[in-house]
Amino acid sequence: MQNKEKIEELREKLKDYENKLARAMIGYRGVTHESAVSELKHNKVMVLRAMIRGLKEEIVKLENNFPPKLSSEGGQAE
């Protein structure tokens, strides 16, 4: 798979996880003392945030590894 295709795939995943996080944040108020339900919601939010952070880092890494584009004139990098 080429980097460009991989980046597009990662952006789609990122959008999906951002939507999931937005839904998980509805009614989220952190961890309520001795509440298993709020602890589960908190864990879900933390996992989604970690997934988003990882996807963003991978996208940046792949974008930085792109070879410079060659212009049509003289073969100079843009």
29-72 per-position pLDDT tens digit: 888 888 898 999 999 999 999 999 999 999 999 998 866 555 55
For residue 70, the cross-strand partners are: 77
- Whether the pLDDT of residue 2 is over 80: the answer is yes
DSSP 8-state symbol, 70 = B
Which residues are registered as beta bridge partners of 77?
70
Of all residues in the chain, what percent are helix, strand and coil, respectively (each to 5)?
A: 65, 5, 30
**Whole-number Å distance between alpha carbons of 10 and 17:** 10
